Amino acid sequence: MRFKYAYLMLWGCLMGLTMTSHGQRITSSPIDSNTIKSSLFKRIPYKQLIVPVGLMTYGVIALESHFLIDQNQDIRTELRENIDRKFSVDDFSQYVGTASIFALDALGIKAKHTLKQRLFTAAVSNVIMTATVMSIKNTGTVWRPDSSANNSFPSGHTATAFVGAELLWQEYKDRSIWYGVAGYAVATGTGFFRMYNNKHWLSDVAMGAGIGILSTKIAYWLLPLLDQKKQENKTSYVFIPSYNGRQFTIGGTISF
């Protein structure tokens, strides 16, 4: 039951953050106010929640569903029967997606957003993902398949990988969907190797994937706030020269 309460609490926090991002009052300059308002006040794109919420729901249900618990065990047994040795590529592949949104742009394949915007979305999505994953891990007692620790649920490696996959999709889907497809393929492979290496159950991987995707979507929903802050911090100068017959002076105002 603790897992259900933890899930509902964290899901409520995520949705609250989303609702807050769409309820901010804008006070920036008239030039960009319409653009910012249209981004922030649009309705929550519920269709974008289907996949991550579905994955997270599966992960939570699998904690107490005897059928899904048996599925976890069957998959583990099948993998163990065909494993010769561990293949720890997942320790590195989890970062491929996030690194790609910077590497591709540096190679001349321009991303959708500026470097500052990409740094913002990458940072925010990883902060949300890490806080969520660690909070759930600290409330649970799900043992890893290899019995090495009782913090199996959810998979942090998988969550990190799917953050990167969604970042890559958001930045390059308009250029070619294959960038995003490649990112999700790598992320899915990361989740598979977490099970292959006997570190996670299928339910751990599903929950991690859902958290990773949702965290990144929230980061992009919050992105207009970065532009708003930039507008609010913009400094303007007005200088007025004058001459009174004896002295030449300059008066001015600074707005920031």
- Pairing of β 236-243 and β 248-255: antiparallel
CA neighbor of 167 nearest in space, from 226, 103, 92 = 103
Largest CA distance in the chain: 97
Q: How far apart are CA 55 and CA 60, in angstroms?
A: 9
Fill in the amino acid letter for 112: K
H or E stretch including 62? none
Q: Which range is least confidently modeled, 10-14, 149-153, 216-220? A: 10-14
Q: Which range is least confidently modeled, 17-21, 41-45, 73-77, 242-246? A: 17-21
Concatenated DSSP letters of 165-183:
HHHHHHHHTTT-HHHHHHH
What is the reported pTM? 0.75
The residues, any chain, with a CB within 8 Å of residue 136's CB and separated by 6 or more, are 3, 6, 7, 10, 153, 154, 207
Q: What are 123-177's pLDDT values in tens digits?
A: 999 999 999 999 999 987 899 999 999 999 999 999 999 999 999 999 999 999 9
Q: How far apart are CA 227 and CA 32, in angstroms?
A: 9
